[in-house]
Amino acid sequence: MSRVDFPADYHIESLSRSHPRRAFDCGLDEVNDWLATGALQSQRKHLSVTRVLLDAAGAIAGYYTLATGQVDFGDLPPELAHPLPRRMLPVAVLAWLGVNRDHQHQRLGSRLLAQALNDCLDAGATFPFVAVILDSLDDRSRDFYRKWGFAELPGHPYRLYLGIDHLQAIAASSDGTSDLPS
């Protein structure tokens, strides 16, 4: 997963004021609203980082937001928690991910997720974490993340995790985007 291939004329960059955030529409109000009103402010406060995928016209085709967080040892499944200390543990958080309606059904969501996980792995060399955590908004998004190996945290059907060992295994077996889940 070291390099993610996006279609020609698409490129990723960090969110800035000049990006047309309010024009983004993925079909989910919460995801649209975060990009339009919260992402840049959160980034300026060093609480998260948002990266946008721009098409040839400069429109936002998709985006993801990453942050760090902590999870209590007791909230993790036994197979992940077993070797870890009994305390709050560091996690990478995939806070948001969306693909504009005009760009859906092109596997851009999978590519953006691959890039986000790649970014997590890169950051993990400096700021270690035990898992990537995310909250799914609905069954459709939960099913999408499950294809990547994300599993439910016990007692939280829409809070999913991907352990660092699984993340490293995905990275070791991937060659870009040819084997990405759809």
Q: What is the pTM of this model?
A: 0.91
Six-digit token string for 145 = 């993340």
Split into its structural domains, the chain has a count of 1
Spans in the chain with pLDDT lower than 50 = 1, 175-178
Q: Where are the alpha helices (DSSP H) in the chain?
A: 29-33, 39-44, 78-81, 108-124, 139-146, 164-173
Residue whose tokens read 């590519």: 111
Does residue 178 form part of some domain? Answer: no
Does residue 180 form part of some domain? Answer: no
- Domain span including residue 67: 11-173
Does residue 1 form part of some domain? Answer: no
User: In whole angstroms, what is the distance from residue 70 CA to residue 48 CA?
Assistant: 14
Q: What is the pLDDT of residue 160?
A: 97
Q: Where are the alpha helices (DSSP H) in 10-134?
A: 29-33, 39-44, 78-81, 108-124
Does residue 3 form part of some domain? Answer: no
Does residue 182 form part of some domain? Answer: no
Q: What is the pLDDT of residue 182?
A: 52
User: pLDDT tens, 46-71?
Assistant: 999 999 999 999 999 999 999 999 99
Does residue 6 form part of some domain? Answer: no
Q: What is the pLDDT of residue 76?
A: 86
User: pLDDT tens, 128-146?
Assistant: 999 999 999 999 999 999 9
Q: Does residue 64 contact residue 4 with C-beta atoms inside 8 Å?
A: no
Q: What is the pLDDT of residue 6?
A: 95
Does residue 44 form part of some domain? Answer: yes
Q: What is the DSSP letter of 103?
A: G
User: In whole angstroms, what is the distance from residue 174 CA to residue 91 CA?
Assistant: 22
Does residue 43 form part of some domain? Answer: yes
Say which CATH number the domain at 39 has: 3.40.630.30
